[in-house]
């Protein structure tokens, strides 16, 4: 689950120079290979890597109490449990059901459930899970008091602000570990730790120790406690979220390297909640895919094995946290998740959106990728997703190889498929197993040609057989031709044409064929991409308008949503049938961020479907 306060500034920036910091993170990660203190040097690391890939259902995004008003209740949780069992009957595998945030009574010290929403506590939920062989999991805020009053045993650990508790001092951490034992005895086997604040200084130490000293003490205390917990309970799964994985607010921000000591207590680390990338995309959901892929690559470059990264990018549901996605373009997102090679495969949200055909498709994907994740080798290749160049992930076994390739740019691209392992089959006689609709990507001997924003899966060896076909993504439509037009936008004078802020205008003749794709990006004076965060729909913030013969032209947009994570762009299309050939078109772009340091740029493309 995300921490909304992660975006303290109204904008988030990216630049090529900042990406050098990602490489620096890898160096820093190597420097952290030594233990936090001398005492831990002799410890025998507990097993932290899962013995095999697992599938997890998490109910976050079926409800949302942060950016929406859909509460977690027993009725909702049991409804989703019924869906878990329905999908399992159709062949889908779920090993764990994780109850996410806000199940707890604010005054119960994590031992009791919210009474109004769970009048009988979790007994029925736990009993049905046990009867059906599904292991329960629980979310915990590590040491930030989120919708929580401090228990009496925690008071000598409180910070001066009373919004967090120190882990190194007082009664909080011993009591917290007692809580973990309590829920383990009730059958809980997966523990999700979120909202960690390792800078927390106990009020008694305010002014006596520095934040840096407190951070070290908190890290050592929590790590030692989790080591002890794992020794007692070697079958638990521990996953790390916000506060444990550095700043994941934007793909532009380098991932703060994890101290390698975390690798002996946590099975996986999440790489950030779904949000749109900084790269303009006509299909909003493909932009969300690119963001998740970018964060996985950043974690990989920071030294985290792909098998230990949870990309958390599959969120079904109709809540604000996933931009009311329902199940749009979910198949391509799920294929990217399994293609990353992570051993913690998580599906969030409203499972009732998946019909029986969806369930059978999901079961087939699980059957294909389980041996690849379990026995194969997964590697990334190509460009950095956030740079706009084609990239991909490939999984190799002795039976064959499957490549997942994405072209995030606004042009046709030929992508070379690299040799990933010496034992993989030769790249010939391959087969496209899955692709977005609209353009059938031609496959060469060791390359594939993709349309703008297109994703494709390619199989070689045994995986080139027709039994591995996975169909098409009908929710992503790719043009069969795209070409940038030589259109120059002129900046309007401040206040001209009743514009509240930065505005551009261009006039040009309509092309002789096809429609138009128009992109807008917001930049600062260094040409770094800058997000804007607003409570309004982004279509009211970034506007794309066009006229021909004095009349407005309909423009199709997908970004017009309330986006809690912010946005730096807008993309719209004018359909071919709405254009008068050869007649002048007037296009106006505008942004509502009244900041003189910001400006917008626009591009126009001819597209044919």
For the chain, what is the mean pLDDT?
90
Are the C-beta atoms of 601 and 489 separated by less than 8 Å?
yes
Q: What is the mean pLDDT of residues 589-599?
A: 90
- Judged against a pLDDT cut of 70, whether residue 500 lies above it is answered with no
pLDDT at 501 exceeding the cut of 70: no
Residue 34 pLDDT class (50, 70, 90 cuts): very low
How far is the CA of 606 from the CAs of 450, 481, 483, 550, 579, in angstroms?
Answer: 17, 8, 5, 21, 12
Q: Which fold has domain 50-375?
A: TIM Barrel (3.20.20)
Sheet containing strand 471-477, edge to edge, reads: 377-382, 391-397, 400-406, 455-461, 431-437, 471-477
Res 30: pLDDT = 38
| pLDDT recorded at residue 16 | 39
Q: How confident is the model at residue 341 (pLDDT cuts 50, 70, 90)?
A: very high
Q: Can you name the CATH fold of 482-608?
A: Jelly Rolls (2.60.120)
> CA–CA separation, 559 vs 191, rounded Å?
35
| Residues above pLDDT 70, as percent of the chain | 89
Which pLDDT belongs to residue 596? 87
Q: Is the pLDDT of residue 47 over 90?
A: no
339-355 mean pLDDT: 98
pLDDT in tens, 475-494: 999 999 999 999 999 999 76
Q: In which band, very low, low, confident or very high, does the pLDDT at 253 lie, cut at 50, 70 and 90?
A: low
User: How do the domains of the chain map onto residue ranges?
Assistant: 50-375, 381-478, 482-608
Interval 159-167 mean pLDDT:
97
Q: What is the pLDDT of residues 189-211, one digit of tens each?
A: 999 999 999 999 999 999 999 99
Answer whether 0.95 is exceeded by the pTM. Answer: no
Helices 74-89 and 356-375: angle between axes, nearest 10 degrees:
80
- Rounded distance between C-alpha atoms, residue 298 and residue 257, angstroms: 10
Question: Two tokens at 371?
Answer: 């041996």
d(CA 349, CA 329): 15
The 8-class DSSP code of residue 318 comes to S
Q: What is the 3-state secondary structure (H, E, C) of 522-581?
A: EEECCCCEECECCCCCHHHHEEEEEEECCEECCCEECCCCCCCCCECEEEEEECHHHCCC
Rounded CA-CA distance 96/114 in Å is 22
pLDDT at 256: 61
- pLDDT band of residue 24 (cuts 50, 70, 90) is very low
Return the higher-pLDDT residue of 263 and 406.
Answer: 406
Distance separating the N- and C-terminal Cα atoms of the chain: 38
Classify strands 190-194 and 237-240 as parallel, antiparallel or unpaired: parallel
Give 445's pLDDT tier (boundaries 50, 70, 90). Answer: confident
CA distance 133 to 74: 20
Check whether 11 has a pLDDT greater than 70.
Answer: no
Largest CA distance in the chain: 79
Mean pLDDT of the 567-572 span: 97
Task: Tell whether the model's pLDDT for residue 17 goes beyond 80.
Answer: no
User: Is pLDDT above 50 for 8?
Assistant: no
* 358-410 confidence digits (pLDDT tens): 999 999 999 999 999 998 899 999 999 999 999 999 999 999 999 999 999 99
Q: Where are the beta strands (DSSP E) in 154-235?
A: 190-194
For every residue of 192-208, DSSP letters joined together read EEE---TT--BGGGBTT
pLDDT greater than 90 at residue 265: yes
CA distances in angstroms from 141 to 86, 102, 147, 195, 456, listed in the order given: 31, 10, 10, 5, 38
Q: Which two tokens stand for residue 59?
A: 């109910």
Architecture of domain 381-478: Sandwich (2.60)
**Tally of CB atoms within 10 A around 466:** 8
Q: How many CB atoms lie within 10 A of CB 548?
A: 17
- Going by C-alpha positions, the residue among 276, 282, 275, 278 that lies closest to residue 544 is 282
Tokens 């930065």, located at residue: 502
Q: What is the DSSP letter of 105?
A: -
Residue 426 has a pLDDT of 85
Q: What is the rounded distance in angstroms from the CA atom of residue 183 to the CA atom of residue 98?
A: 13
Assigned token pair, 228: 């002890």
Tell me what pLDDT residue 463 has: 97
Q: For residues 436 and 335, give the distance between their C-alpha atoms in angstroms, rounded to a whole number.
A: 12
**pLDDT at 26 > cutoff 50:** no
Does residue 325 register a pLDDT over 70? yes
The answer to whether residues 354 and 347 touch, using CB atoms and an 8 Å cutoff, is no
Please say whether the beta carbons of 391 and 296 come within 8 A. no
pLDDT at 436 over 70: yes
CA–CA separation, 203 vs 553, rounded Å? Answer: 62
pLDDT at 247: 67
Cα–Cα distance measured from residue 583 to residue 484, given in angstroms and rounded to the nearest whole number: 18
How much is the pLDDT for 255?
Answer: 63
CA 390 from chain centre, in angstroms, equals 19
DSSP 38-79: GGGGGPPPPP-S-SS-EEEEE-BTTBBSSSS-B---HHHHHH
Residue 572 has pLDDT above 90, yes or no: yes
Query: Distance between CA 274 and CA 248 in Å, rounded?
Result: 11
Order of strands across the sheet with 551-552?
490-491, 503-509, 584-591, 542-548, 551-552
> Which of 395 and 15 is assigned the larger pLDDT?
395
User: Tell me: the pLDDT tens digits for 95-145?
Assistant: 999 999 999 999 999 999 999 999 999 999 999 999 999 999 999 999 999
Per-residue pLDDT, 248: 75
Question: Is the model more confident about 428 or about 205?
Answer: 205
- Residue 137 C-alpha from the chain's centroid: 20
Three-class secondary structure of residue 185 per DSSP: helix
What percent of the chain is modeled with pLDDT above 90?
Answer: 82
pLDDT, tens digit, for every residue of 142-153? 999 999 999 999
Q: Residue 113 has what DSSP assignment?
A: B
Q: How many CB atoms neighbour CB 501 within 10 A?
A: 17
């Amino acid at each position: 689950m995300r921490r909304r306060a992660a975006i303290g500034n109204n904008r988030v920036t990216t630049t090529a120079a900042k990406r050098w910091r990602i490489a620096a993170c890898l160096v820093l990660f190597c420097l952290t290979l030594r233990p936090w203190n001398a005492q831990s040097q002799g410890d025998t690391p507990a097993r932290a890597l899962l013995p095999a890939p697992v599938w997890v259902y998490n109910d976050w995004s079926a409800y949302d109490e942060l950016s929406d008003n859909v509460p977690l209740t027993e009725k909702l949780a049991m409804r989703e449990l019924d869906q878990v069992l329905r999908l399992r009957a159709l062949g889908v595998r779920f090993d764990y059901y994780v109850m996410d945030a806000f199940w707890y009574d604010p005054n119960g010290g994590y031992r009791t459930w919210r009474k109004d929403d769970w009048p009988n506590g979790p007994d029925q939920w736990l009993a049905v899970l046990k009867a059906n062989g599904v292991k329960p999991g629980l979310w915990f805020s590590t040491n930030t008091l989120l919708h929580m009053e401090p228990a009496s045993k925690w008071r000598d650990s409180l910070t001066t602000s009373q919004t967090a508790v120190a882990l190194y001092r007082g009664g909080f951490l011993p009591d917290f570990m007692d809580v973990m034992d309590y829920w383990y005895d009730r059958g809980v086997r997966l523990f999700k730790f979120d909202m960690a604040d390792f800078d927390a200084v106990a009020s008694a130490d305010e002014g006596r120790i520095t934040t840096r000293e407190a951070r070290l003490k908190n890290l050592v205390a929590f790590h030692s406690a989790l080591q002890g917990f794992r020794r007692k309970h070697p079958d638990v799964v521990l996953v790390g979220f916000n506060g444990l994985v550095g700043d994941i607010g934007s793909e532009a921000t380098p991932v703060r390297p994890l101290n390698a000591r975390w690798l002996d207590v946590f099975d996986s680390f999440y790489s950030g909640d779904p949000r749109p990338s900084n790269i303009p995309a006509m299909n909003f959901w493909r932009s969300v895919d690119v963001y998740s892929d970018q964060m996985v690559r950043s974690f990989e470059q920071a030294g985290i094995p792909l098998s230990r990264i949870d990309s958390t990018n599959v969120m079904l549901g109709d809540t604000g946290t996933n931009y009311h996605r329902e199940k749009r373009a979910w198949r391509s997102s799920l294929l990217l998740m399994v293609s990353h090679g992570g051993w913690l495969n998580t599906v969030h949200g409203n499972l009732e959106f998946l019909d029986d055909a969806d369930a059978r498709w999901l079961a087939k994907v699980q059957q294909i990728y389980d041996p690849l994740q379990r026995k194969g080798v997964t590697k990334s290749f190509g460009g950095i997703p956030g740079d706009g160049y084609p990239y991909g992930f490939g999984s190799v076994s002795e039976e064959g190889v499957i490549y997942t390739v994405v072209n995030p740019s606004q042009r046709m691209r030929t992508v070379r498929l690299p040799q990933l392992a010496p034992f993989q089959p030769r790249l010939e006689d391959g087969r496209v197993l899955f692709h977005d609709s609209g353009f059938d990507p031609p496959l060469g001997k060791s390359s594939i040609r993709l349309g703008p924003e297109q994703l494709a899966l390619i199989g070689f060896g045994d995986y080139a057989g027709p039994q591995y076909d996975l169909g098409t993504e009908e929710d992503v439509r790719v043009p069969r031709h795209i070409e940038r037009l030589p259109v120059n936008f002129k900046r309007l004078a401040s206040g001209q044409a009743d514009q509240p802020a930065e505005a551009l205008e261009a006039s040009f003749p309509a092309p002789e064929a096809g429609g138009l794709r128009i992109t807008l990006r917001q930049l600062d004076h260094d040409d770094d991409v800058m997000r804007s965060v607003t409570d309004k729909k982004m279509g009211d913030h970034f506007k794309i308008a066009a006229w021909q013969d004095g009349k407005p032209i309909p423009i199709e947009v997908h970004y017009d949503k309330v986006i809690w994570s912010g946005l730096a762009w807008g993309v719209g299309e004018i359909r071919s049938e709405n254009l008068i050939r050869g007649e002048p078109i007037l296009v106006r772009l505008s942004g509502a961020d009244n900041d003189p340091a910001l400006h917008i740029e626009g591009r126009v493309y001819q597209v044919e479907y």
